[in-house]
Amino acid sequence: MTDEVGRDPEAVSKFVESFAAQLVEAGMQRMPARIFAALLSSDEGAMTSAELGEQLQISPAAVSGGVRYLAQQHMVSREREPGSRRERYRVHSNQWYEALTNREAVIKRWEGALREGVSSLGAGTPAGRRMAETLAFFEFVDGEIAAMMERWRLHRENLFGA
């Protein structure tokens, strides 16, 4: 059995659940992982709450909670259907870029907290040295992410155009 674009719905469902399981293993909550995988695997990259509920066999409340989490993580956005009050939830082609870029802000906050920790504990103490090493790690990661994101932007442009 195939859908209107020639895909096997059972194979799509297996992919969604398999990829969601990988996301859960990496630390994402189960329901947002399933919703994200369903959106990612849809041709339009967008679905309504009803469509997500039907495909995943979940309640409107589960969809709402999962989408709220994904929106907070900058992995999906909400948009109104033209001429309707219904919202569609969209995953964008650059969602990984956005999600990782938003992690930079978190890393910057951690760096600030770690600087305070080094100052409070004393750079010469064992705890202060450990804190300073952690700070140095995050400063290194922050710089690498910025450089990597620029390389990705250029690479993506070469592969897919502007």
User: What is the token pair recorded at 148?
Assistant: 């990597």
Query: Is-contact 54 91, C-beta < 8 A?
Result: no
Alpha carbons 114 and 50: distance in angstroms, whole number? 45
Residue 148: which H helix or E strand, with range? Answer: helix 126-160
- Listed in sequence order, the residues at least 6 apart from 85 whose beta carbon sits closer than 8 Å to its beta carbon are none
Alpha carbons 148 and 96: distance in angstroms, whole number? 13
CA distances from residue 88 to 39, 65, 73, 80, 143 in whole angstroms, order as listed: 10, 14, 17, 6, 36
pLDDT in tens, the chain (162 residues): 656 667 888 999 999 999 999 999 999 999 999 999 999 999 999 999 999 999 999 999 999 999 999 998 888 999 987 787 888 999 977 777 777 777 788 889 999 999 999 999 999 999 999 999 999 999 999 889 889 989 998 999 999 887
Closest CA to 114 of 102, 97, 127, 104: 127
Alpha carbons 52 and 97: distance in angstroms, whole number? 24
